[in-house]
């Protein structure tokens, strides 16, 4: 176990014990004070080597800094407590104080039917409430008449999109990725998402017939952002997940054009070359300064599948990042919405049925259910 993970697990274990004791004996009990001090030390040590750490509850899973954890009894208990308190995300920032840890313990120790308002964010402990209402507001947006008029890709933020297209051209010419421009595109999308009246999610389902990698990448980005926001993910992690989606297929730019644009079925040999794009992409991103680590990981893992039956092949027990699972889901959806020379775009009910049948085998269960809730409101007739 890495020392960071050990400190994190120590923190959770001590926090849990302190919470259980505080519920029984109150915050002033010496045992609570001792455990709280230990928890504070563990998290303080961890935050010396990094600015922040994020914990997310996704379904029944606990995800720490993007990595789903193997739940043992104490992580399981911790996840249950957070869920019962309506907490979907906790971000711990460096500079955290002992009194902030105390407040968290006292908030978690209260009975479930106490006022949930008691559990509030502080300067260095940010709590995200589970908010699945995005699907409701998205549904409302989707029923907007503007959909009937047909929204095309050029309606997206113009400046950001042209930057992105330029960037792809630059990589194709073996120049460097301008990561700041990718970040601009992603924050542009996040802003559009936040403004009501822009059915950005519907646009990803609309799908242009052209199979340009950048069209695909923007769609996967929008879908990843929608998934993340529905889980209460915000801030730097949200931005990094968007950037990772934008760059997930960057390795395709190193695959020969004739294979990429071939309309018929690929031969075994061609498919073997195509399957190299995750490794090529990850390697390229690794060598590019300023690219978030998450983007390198998602580029490498986005075809692995939940049960690791995809590619690249890895040892059993490999733990994929949450962002890779999300990208896999968005990627699968977008690929099926694409018109191919041999088939029409697959209908939404068909895609939903396919994804449901892949839950737990090829696709991550909780994330897929979250995604299906999001697209449940998309109206086929409007697309
Ligand atoms: Fe890919
Ligand atoms: Fe893709």
How far apart are the CA of 28 and the centre of ligand 2, in A? 54
Which ligand is located closest to the Cα atom of residue 280?
A: 1
How far apart are the CA of 213 and the centre of ligand 1, in A? 10
pLDDT digits (tens, 9 = 90+) for 224-271: 998 988 888 888 889 999 999 989 998 888 888 888 878 788 899 999
How far apart are the CA of 249 and the centre of ligand 1, in A? 5
3-state SS, residue 313:
coil
Domain end, chosen from 129, 160, 189, is at 129
141 and 84 assigned to the same domain: no
Residue 331: burial class (beta carbons within 10 Å; 0-12, 13-18, 19+) = buried
DSSP per residue, 129-171: E---THHHHHHHHHTSGGGTT---GGGS-HHHHHHHHHHHHHH
Structure tokens at 381: 């007739």
CATH number at residue 336: 1.10.3210.10
Q: Is the pTM of this model over 0.75?
A: no
245 and 375 assigned to the same domain: yes
Q: For the chain, what is the domain count?
A: 2
366 and 292 assigned to the same domain: yes
> Which residues pair with residue 63 across a beta bridge?
56, 68
| Spatial strand order in the sheet of 125-129 | 67-68, 61-64, 52-58, 87-93, 125-129
Which ligand is located closest to the Cα atom of residue 245?
A: 2
> Which residues pair with residue 62 across a beta bridge?
57
What domain range includes position 248?
Answer: 134-382
230 and 125 assigned to the same domain: no
17 and 98 assigned to the same domain: yes
Q: What is the pLDDT of residue 140?
A: 32
How far apart are the CA of 217 and the centre of ligand 1, in A? 10
How far apart are the CA of 244 and the centre of ligand 1, in A? 12
Which ligand is located closest to the Cα atom of residue 253?
A: 1
How far apart are the CA of 224 and the centre of ligand 2, in A? 12
Sign of CA dihedral 207, 245, 373, 117: negative
Residue 64 pLDDT > 80: yes
16 and 141 assigned to the same domain: no
In angstroms, what CA-CA distances link 304 with 15, 137, 151, 183?
35, 32, 33, 26
Q: How many angstroms separate the CA atoms of 43 and 34, rounded?
A: 15
The pLDDT confidence band at residue 133, using thresholds 50, 70 and 90, is very low
230 and 148 assigned to the same domain: yes
Average pLDDT over all residues of the chain:
80
Domain end, chosen from 108, 129, 150, is at 129
Neighbours of 48 (CB within 10 A): 9
How far apart are the CA of 366 and the centre of ligand 2, in A? 21
178 and 30 assigned to the same domain: no
114 and 158 assigned to the same domain: no
The pLDDT confidence band at residue 160, using thresholds 50, 70 and 90, is low
Structure tokens at 17: 């014990």
122 and 107 assigned to the same domain: yes
> Which residues pair with residue 127 across a beta bridge?
90
How far apart are the CA of 62 and the centre of ligand 1, in A? 26
How far apart are the CA of 87 and the centre of ligand 2, in A? 32
114 and 256 assigned to the same domain: no
Q: What is the pLDDT of residue 242?
A: 92
Phi-psi region of 95 (alpha: psi -120 to 50; beta: other; left: phi over 0): left
The pLDDT confidence band at residue 360, using thresholds 50, 70 and 90, is very high
The pLDDT confidence band at residue 148, using thresholds 50, 70 and 90, is very low
Domain end, chosen from 101, 129, 157, is at 129
Residue 7 pLDDT > 50: yes
Q: What is the pLDDT of residue 154?
A: 37
Helix (H) or strand (E) segment spanning residue 51:
none
The pLDDT confidence band at residue 180, using thresholds 50, 70 and 90, is confident
Q: What is the pLDDT of residue 212?
A: 56
119 and 157 assigned to the same domain: no
The pLDDT confidence band at residue 129, using thresholds 50, 70 and 90, is low
Residue 145: burial class (beta carbons within 10 Å; 0-12, 13-18, 19+) = exposed
Structure tokens at 38: 């230990």
Q: Cα 47 to chain center, whole Å?
A: 22
């Amino acid at each position: 176990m890495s020392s960071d993970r050990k400190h994190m697990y120590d923190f959770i274990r001590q926090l849990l014990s302190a919470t259980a004791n505080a519920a029984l004996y109150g915050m002033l009990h010496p045992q609570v004070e001792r455990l709280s001090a230990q928890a504070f030390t563990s998290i303080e040590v961890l935050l010396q080597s990094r600015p922040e750490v994020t914990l997310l509850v996704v379904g029944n899973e606990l995800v720490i800094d993007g990595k789903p954890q193997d739940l043992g009894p104490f992580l399981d208990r911790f996840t249950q407590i957070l869920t019962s308190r309506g907490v979907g995300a906790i971000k711990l920032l460096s500079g955290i104080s002992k009194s902030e840890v105390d407040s968290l313990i006292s908030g978690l120790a209260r009975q479930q039917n106490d006022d949930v308002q008691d559990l509030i964010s502080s300067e260095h402990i940010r709590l995200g409430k589970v908010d699945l209402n995005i699907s409701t507001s998205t549904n409302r947006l989707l029923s907007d008449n503007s959909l009937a008029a047909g929204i095309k890709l050029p309606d997206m933020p113009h400046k950001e999109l042209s930057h992105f297209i330029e960037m792809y051209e630059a990589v194709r010419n073996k120049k460097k990725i301008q990561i700041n421009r990718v970040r601009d595109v992603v924050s542009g999308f996040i802003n559009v998402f936040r403004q009501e009246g822009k059915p950005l999610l519907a646009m990803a389902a609309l799908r242009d017939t052209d199979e340009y990698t950048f069209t695909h990448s923007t769609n996967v980005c929008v879908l990843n952002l929608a998934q993340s926001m529905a889980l209460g993910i915000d801030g730097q992690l949200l931005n990094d997940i968007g950037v990772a989606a934008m760059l997930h297929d960057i390795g395709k730019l190193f695959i020969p054009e004739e294979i990429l644009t071939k309309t018929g079925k690929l031969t075994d040999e061609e498919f073997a070359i195509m399957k190299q794009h995750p490794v090529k992409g990850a390697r390229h991103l690794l060598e590019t300064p300023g690219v978030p680590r998450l983007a390198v990981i998602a580029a490498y893992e986005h075809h692995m599948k939940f049960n690791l039956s995809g590619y690249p092949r890895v040892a059993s027990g490999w733990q994929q990042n949450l962002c890779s699972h999300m990208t896999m889901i968005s990627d699968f959806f977008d690929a099926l919405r694409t018109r191919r020379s041999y088939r029409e775009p697959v209908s939404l009910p068909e895609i939903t049925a396919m994804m449901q049948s892949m839950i737990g085998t090829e696709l991550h269960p909780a994330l897929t259910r979250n995604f299906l809730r999001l697209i449940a409101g998309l109206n086929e007739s409007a697309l």
